[in-house]
């Protein structure tokens, strides 16, 4: 692989001998670009670093449809229809990050209690996994993992389920918005006049509620769902349609993941 310096500031172009793969490294942003014609996708309201390898000759026999192209070239689902309705459990792992990005993300987490926390930058540094990364950190910071004896694998699986159930094509009600609200909830929970009155259960419920408050949001409001005779409007009889759907979806994921199954019944 040869390296070619380009005039544009901050850009280095690498060319593969087969001329089908090109890597472009931008300052603070890394993308792998190819010539398959697959359009760039968005995660939430901010583009995520997706490290795609686009080589349409090496795997030409494997790529037959647009669906196969997406499955092959991406580490993670593109569009998030309801996991509960489709019966699909998200299994996409967290992306591996460059050490520079990991270091910057860790530095940002040291200031997670500040009201000016930049959730969009954090989402880039965590490669579009801001909600999962943030919640894992906050559960540890508040001592919830130790207090409730939570299994880390189960916790991570549940958090991925929540993050994946947000629709990435929504310009606002997406996983980045959920991470933003969760970070704000953490700031509220740390307020001196409030913190002394909170139990570990209060803190855990507050963080979970913030993280899942808009889960599986369809991107439209209740009047639209009612006027279009949407199945959710019919299911909840046109009353608090989205709110009912959000909390019931969350309860469904909690039960499915069995995150809190070991706790006493009176607590859950």
Is residue 166 within 8 Å of residue 216, measured between CB atoms? yes
In whole angstroms, how far apart are CA 232 and each of 36, 136, 171, 239, 242? Answer: 38, 31, 21, 10, 8
Known catalytic residue at 173: yes
Flag whether 246 is marked binding: no
> What distance, in Å, lies between the first and last C-alpha atoms of the chain?
56
- Please write down the long-range contacts of 194-197, taking CB distance under 8 Å and 24 or more positions apart: none
- Choose the catalytic residue: 156, 167, 173, 246: 173
Q: Is 98 annotated as a binding residue?
A: no
User: Is 214 labelled as part of a ligand binding site?
Assistant: yes
Can you list the alpha helix ranges (DSSP code H) found in the chain? 66-73, 83-86, 99-109, 119-125, 130-141, 144-147, 152-164, 175-189, 192-195, 200-212, 222-227, 231-235, 241-257
Sign of the alpha-carbon torsion through 181, 183, 184, 190: positive
- The dihedral region occupied by 127, where left means phi > 0, alpha psi between -120 and 50, and beta the remainder, is left
3-state class of 26 per DSSP? Answer: strand
Tracing tokens 């998030």 back to the chain, one arrives at 80
Most distant CA atoms of the chain, gap in Å: 65
Nearest to 112 by CA among 185, 5, 51: 185
Annotated binding site: 177, 213-214
Annotated binding site for Zn(2+): 177, 213-214
- Residues recognised as catalytic: 173
């Amino acid at each position: 692989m040869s390296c070619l310096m380009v005039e544009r500031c901050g850009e280095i172009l690498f060319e593969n001998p087969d001329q089908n793969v090109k890597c472009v490294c931008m300052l603070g942003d890394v993308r792998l670009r190819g010539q398959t014609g697959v359009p760039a996708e968005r995660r939430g309201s901010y583009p995520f670093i997706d490290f795609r390898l686009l080589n349409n000759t090496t795997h030409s026999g494997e790529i037959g449809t647009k669906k196969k192209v997406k499955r092959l070239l991406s580490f993670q689902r593109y569009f998030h229809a309801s996991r509960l309705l489709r019966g699909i459990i998200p299994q996409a792992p967290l992306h591996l990050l460059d050490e520079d990005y990991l270091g910057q993300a860790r530095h940002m987490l040291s200031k997670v209690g500040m009201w000016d926390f930049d959730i969009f930058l954090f989402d880039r540094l965590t490669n579009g996994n801001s909600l999962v990364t943030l919640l894992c950190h906050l559960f540890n910071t508040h001592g919830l993992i130790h207090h409730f004896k939570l299994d880390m694998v189960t916790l991570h699986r549940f958090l991925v389920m929540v993050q994946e159930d947000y629709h990435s094509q929504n310009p606002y009600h997406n996983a980045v918005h959920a991470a933003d609200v969760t970070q704000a909830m953490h700031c509220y929970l740390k307020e001196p006049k409030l913190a002394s009155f909170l139990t570990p259960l209060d803190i855990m419920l507050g963080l979970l509620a913030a993280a899942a408050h808009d889960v599986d949001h369809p991107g439209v409001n209740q009047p639209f769902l009612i006027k279009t005779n949407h199945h959710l409007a019919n299911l909840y009889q046109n009353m608090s349609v989205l709110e009912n759907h959000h909390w019931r979806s969350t309860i469904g994921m909690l039960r499915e993941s069995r995150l809190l199954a070991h706790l006493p019944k009176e607590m859950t």
